[in-house]
């Protein structure tokens, strides 16, 4: 969306290998890996092989802030959930600088994520209590954590948030955490248009494969490619299911240079309804 960041081709390739599975992380089934109640509850990974984990961020849209996700490459361990939470807390923005986090800098995961008896437990340091957020952003900041850890576990069990090992009744004066927090309705929480691949700032070859997820009217995902603010190619992709979050992909061939990939939600109301959701990624074609 903004100034591109250097992203190597191997990261893009890695994301491609996991994207088919990772696209299901928006609504994982309750019987997925991690529901056995063993205490660690994260799926095993091949030692030393990098993984791409879905990390959720908050970004502005025409209808207010919503969650977007990025896939971050992290070293492999046997604890996807803890690794995902640490990655979320490690930086104030995503690779796309329009994606941001309001978790206070310095917030740490004190203990490994535990998943047992139908509850996911995340134990944070006291720095977590110092966020300066209003009510709407507070709710999304908590959901950012909920969506991220659930995606890593492929499970939608509610999330108990501890601070310094102890329950807290609320966060920031706005969000009740006296009980485990359930995932909010994705259609009211996430952007309905999401480019997952290529990443913002990626360096790619001339044949560009674009993948993502959308909850699109009649499964239609309109796209454009812009160069210097001008549309150079456009078309539409078809998601696997209409009106529900579902994967889509398309391929476009481009000359070398810098481009912006853009999705703009189809508007069946002809402008009478809410503003459309969008997503953009700046890429460098070599």
Can you tell me the mean pLDDT for 192-216? 98
Residue 20 has pLDDT above 80, yes or no: no
Among residues 206, 285, 283, 196, the alpha carbon closest in space to that of 3 is found at: 283
Could you tell me where in the chain the CATH 2.60.40.10 domains are found?
Answer: 193-285
User: Does residue 42 surpass a pLDDT of 50?
Assistant: no
Cα of 45 vs its chain's centroid, Å: 20
Determine the Cα–Cα distance for residues 117 and 107; give it in Å rounded to an integer: 26
Looking at residue 27, its pLDDT comes to 53
Once rounded to an integer, what is the mean pLDDT over residues 139-148?
Answer: 98
What pTM was computed for the model?
0.84
Residue 7 has pLDDT above 60, yes or no: no
Residue 142: pLDDT over 60: yes
The predicted structure's pLDDT at residue 47: 52
Q: What is the residue-averaged pLDDT of the chain?
A: 87
Strand locations in the chain, DSSP E?
Answer: 51-59, 66-74, 114-116, 119-124, 159-163, 166-167, 170-171, 175-176, 193-197, 203-204, 207-214, 220-227, 230-238, 246-253, 257-264, 278-285
CA dist 216 and 244 (Å) reads 7
- Residue 271's pLDDT band, with cuts at 50, 70 and 90, is confident
Residue 10: per-residue pLDDT: 36
Q: What's the pLDDT score for residue 268?
A: 74
Indicate if the pLDDT at residue 80 is higher than 70.
yes
Res 3 pLDDT > 90:
no
Mean pLDDT score, 256-270: 92
More confident residue, 43 or 221: 221
CATH number of the domain located at residue range(s) 193-285 in this protein: 2.60.40.10
48 falls in which pLDDT band (50, 70, 90)? low
């Amino acid at each position: 969306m903004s100034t591109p960041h250097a992203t190597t081709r191997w990261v893009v390739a890695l994301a491609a290998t996991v994207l088919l599975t990772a696209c299901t992380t928006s609504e994982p089934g309750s019987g997925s890996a991690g529901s056995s109640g063993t205490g660690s509850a994260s799926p095993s990974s091949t030692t030393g092989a990098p993984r791409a984990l879905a990390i959720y961020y908050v970004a502005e849209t025409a209808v207010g802030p919503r969650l977007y996700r990025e896939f971050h490459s992290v070293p492999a361990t046997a604890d996807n959930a803890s690794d995902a939470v640490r990655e979320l807390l490690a930086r104030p923005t995503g690779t796309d600088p329009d994606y941001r986090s309001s978790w206070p800098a310095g917030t740490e995961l004190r203990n490994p994520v535990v998943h047992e008896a139908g509850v996911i437990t995340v134990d944070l340091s006291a720095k977590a209590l110092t966020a300066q957020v209003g009510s709407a952003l507070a709710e999304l900041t908590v959901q950012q954590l909920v969506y991220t850890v659930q995606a890593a576990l492929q499970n939608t069990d509610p999330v108990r948030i501890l601070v310094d090992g102890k329950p807290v009744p609320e966060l920031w004066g706005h969000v009740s955490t006296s009980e485990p927090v359930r995932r909010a309705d994705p259609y009211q929480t996430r952007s309905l248009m999401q480019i997952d691949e290529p990443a913002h700032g990626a360096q790619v070859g001339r044949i560009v494969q674009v993948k993502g997820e959308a909850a699109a009217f009649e499964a239609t995902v309109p796209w454009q490619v812009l160069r210097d603010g001008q549309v150079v190619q456009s078309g539409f992709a078809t998601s696997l299911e209409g009106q529900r979050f579902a994967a889509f992909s398309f391929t476009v061939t481009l000359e070398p240079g810098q481009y912006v990939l853009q999705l703009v939600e189809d508007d069946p109301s002809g402008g009478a309804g809410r503003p459309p959701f969008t997503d953009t990624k700046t890429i460098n074609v070599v």
